[in-house]
Amino acid sequence: MNWLRSFLDKIKPNFEKGGKLYFLHSTFEAFEVFFFVPNKVTEKGSHIRDYVDLKRLMTHVLIALAPIVLFGMFNVGLQHFRLQLGLDIDAWGQVVKEIGFWRIFWYGFLRVLPIIVVSYVSGLAVEFASAQIRHHQVNEGFLVTGMLIALIVPPTIPLWMLSVATIFAVIFGKEIFGGTGMNFLNPALLTRAFLFFAYPASMTGDAIWVASKGLDVISGPTPLALAAQNQFFQSPSLLTMSLGFIPGSIGETSKILIILAAIYLIFTGVANLRVMISALVGAAAMGIIFNLWGANEYMQIPFYYHFFIGGFLFGAIFMATDPVTSAQTPTGKIYYGLLIGIFCILIRVVNPAYPEGAMLAILLMNVFAPLIDHLVVQQNINRRKKRALLSQTIKS
Amino acid sequence: MKEHFKIKKGLDIPLEGEAPLKDLPDILSDKYAILPPDFRLLTPRLLVQEGDDILAGEPIIQNKINENIFITSPISGKVTAIIRGEKRILKQIIITPKFPQEFKIFNIPTTLDRENIIKLLLESGLWVNIKQRPYGIIANPSDMPKAIYISAFDSSPLAPNPDYLIKGEEENFQKGIDIIKKLTSGPIYLNISSTRNKSDFYKNIKNTELHNFEGPHPVGNVSVQISRISPINKGDIYWYLYPQDVIFIGRLFQNGKLDLHRKIELTGSELTERGYITTLPGISMQALLSNRLKQNNVRVISGNVLTGTNAGLDGFLSYYDNQITVIPEGNYYDFFGWVAPKFTKYSPSRMIMNWLIRNKKKKYVLDTNMHGEERPFVLSDQYDKYFPFDIYPVYLLKAILSENIEQMENLGIYEIVEEDFALPEYVCVSKINLQEIVRKGIDLMIKETT
* Of the partner residues B233, B369, B378, the one whose CB lies closest to the CB of residue A181: B378
pLDDT value at residue A226: 77
What pLDDT is attached to residue B1? 57
Nearest CA in chain A to B394: A328
Question: What was the ipTM of the complex prediction?
Answer: 0.93
pLDDT score of A297? 79
Cβ contacts (< 8 Å) between B337 and chain A: which residues?
A: 36-37, 51
A48 with B366: Cβ contact below 8 A = yes
Among the partner residues B306, B333, B412, nearest to A46 by beta-carbon distance: B306
Report the pLDDT value the prediction gives residue A140, as an integer from 0 to 100.
82
Can you tell me the distance from the alpha carbon of B50 to that of B48, in angstroms, rounded to the nearest whole number? 7
pLDDT at A126 over 70: yes
Q: Distance from B421 to chain A by nearest Cα, in Å?
A: 9
Percent pLDDT > 90 in chain A is 51
- Residue A272 distance to chain B (closest CA, Å): 8
pLDDT at B341: 86
Res A311 pLDDT > 90: no
Positive/negative CA dihedral, A280, A282, A288, A294: negative
Question: What average pLDDT score do residues A343-349 get?
Answer: 91
**A101-134 and A142-151 helices cross at what angle (nearest 10)?**
140
How many Cα neighbours within 13 Å face the side chain of A311? 27
Selected residue with higher pLDDT from B248 and A24:
B248
* Shortest alpha-carbon distance between residue A105 and chain B (Å): 28
B chain contacts of residue A179, beta-carbon cutoff 8 Å:
376
DSSP string, A175-240: GGGTSTTT-SS-HHHHHHHHHHHH-HHHHSSSSSSS--SSS-------HHHHHHTT-GGGS--HHH
pLDDT single digits (tens) A164-173 = 999 999 999 9
Label residue A213 by pLDDT band (50, 70, 90).
low
Name the residue among A47, A137, A178 with its Cβ closest to that of B373: A137
Q: Is A67 exposed, middle or buried (0-12, 13-18, 19+ CB in 10 A)?
A: middle
CA of A158: how far to CAs of B48, B243, B376, in Å? 80, 72, 34
pLDDT at A9 exceeding the cut of 60: yes
Asked if the Cβ–Cβ distance from A323 to B350 is below 8 Å, we say no
A-chain CB neighbours of B17 within 8 Å are none
Asked whether the beta carbons of residue A37 and residue B435 sit closer than 8 angstroms, the reply is no
pLDDT recorded at residue A395? 66
Is residue B412 a contact partner of residue B37, using CB atoms and an 8 Å limit? Answer: no
Rounded to the nearest 10 degrees, the angle between the axes of helix A92-99 and helix A54-85 is: 90
How many of the other CB atoms lie within 10 Å of CB of B98?
15
pTM of the predicted model, to two decimals?
0.92
Nearest Cα to A322, choosing from A161, A140, A145, A92?
Answer: A145
Contact call for B371 and A326, based on CB within 8 A? no
pLDDT for B150 beyond 70: yes
Going along chain B from its start, the domains and CATH numbers come out as 3-21+107-255 (3.40.50), 32-97 (2.40.50), 384-449 (no CATH)
Mean pLDDT of A75-84: 90
Among the ranges given (A22-31, A85-94, A313-322, B111-120), the one the predictor scored with the smallest mean pLDDT: A22-31
Which residues on adjacent β-strands are paired with residue B335? A36
Q: Edge-to-edge strand order for the sheet containing B59-63?
A: B44-46, B59-63, B70-72
The chain B residue lying nearest A37, using CA atoms, is B334
Sheet holding B137-138, edge to edge: B3-6, B209-214, B188-192, B148-151, B238-241, B131-133, B137-138
Residue of higher predicted confidence among B388 and A309: B388
Across A56-67, average pLDDT: 93
C-alpha B328/C-alpha B252 separation (Å) is 39
Across the interface, whether the CB atoms of B13 and A48 are under 8 A apart is answered: yes
- Helix, strand, coil shares of chain A as percentages rounded to 5? 70, 0, 30
Residue A329 to residue B327, Cβ atoms within 8 A: no
Contact A181 B375 (CB under 8 A): yes
Closest Cα in chain A, distance from residue B423 (Å): 8
d(CA A392, CA B413): 19
More confident residue, A31 or B237: B237
> Residue B131, SS3?
strand
Q: Say what angle helices A255-268 and A54-85 make with each other, to 10 degrees.
A: 170
pLDDT of A273 above 50:
yes
Chain B residue at shortest CA distance from A139? B375
Out of A35, A55, A381, the one facing B411 most closely (by C-beta) is A381
**pLDDT at position A38:** 87
Pick from B234, B381, B425: which is nearest to A330 by CB? Answer: B381
Instruction: Answer yes or no: are the C-beta atoms of B224 and B218 closer than 8 Å.
Output: yes
Asked whether B305 and B327 are in contact (CB, 8 A), the reply is: yes
Residue A215 pLDDT > 70: no
Contacts of B347 in chain A (CB under 8 A): 50-52
Q: Any idea which of A386-395, B16-25, B161-170, B359-368 has the lowest mean pLDDT? A: A386-395
pLDDT at A219 over 70: no
Domain residue spans of chain A = 55-213+236-251, 272-396
- Rounded Cα–Cα distance for residues A197 and A279 (Å): 25
Q: What is the pLDDT of residues B253-288, one digit of tens each?
A: 999 999 999 999 999 999 999 999 999 999 999 999
Residues 6+ apart with CB under 8 A from B170: B201, B204, B205
Q: Is the pLDDT of residue B14 over 70?
A: yes
Check pLDDT > 90 for residue A149.
yes
**B32-34 and B59-63: which strand pairing?**
unpaired
Judge residue A388's burial from the number of C-beta atoms within 10 Å of its C-beta, 0-12 exposed, 13-18 middle, 19 or more buried. Answer: middle
Query: How many A×B Cβ pairs under 8 Å?
Result: 204
Nearest to A52 among B306, B351, B434 (CB): B351
Q: From the CA atom positions of chain A, what is the Rg in Å? A: 24
Q: What is the pLDDT of residues B107-144, one digit of tens each?
A: 998 888 999 999 999 999 999 999 999 999 999 999 99
Mutate to test the interface with A, among B144, B217, B363, B380 (most CBs of A within 10 A): B380
Average pLDDT over residues A109-132: 93
Q: Are strands B90-97 and B77-84 parallel, antiparallel or unpaired?
A: antiparallel
Residue of chain B minimizing CA distance to A386: B233
The 3-state DSSP class for residue A347 equals: helix
The shortest CB-CB distance from B371 to any of A49, A179, A268 is to A49
Please list every residue in chain A whose beta carbon sits closer than 8 Å to the beta carbon of residue B427: 50, 52
> Stretch A207-214: mean pLDDT, rounded?
70
Which residues, in sequence order, are bridge partners of residue B189? Answer: B149, B209
pLDDT classification of B357: cutoffs 50, 70, 90: confident
Higher pLDDT, A6 or A337: A337
- Residue A359, min C-alpha distance to chain B (Å): 22
Q: How far apart are CA B379 and CA B96, in angstroms?
A: 51
> Could you report the per-residue pLDDT of B310-346, keeping only the tens digit for each?
999 999 999 999 999 999 999 989 888 888 888 889 9
Q: Amino acid letter at A353?
A: A
Of B233, B352, B425, the CB nearest to A387: B233
pLDDT digits (tens, 9 = 90+) for B73-101: 999 999 999 999 988 899 999 999 998 88
Give the distance from residue B435's alpha carbon to the nearest chain A alpha carbon, in angstroms: 6
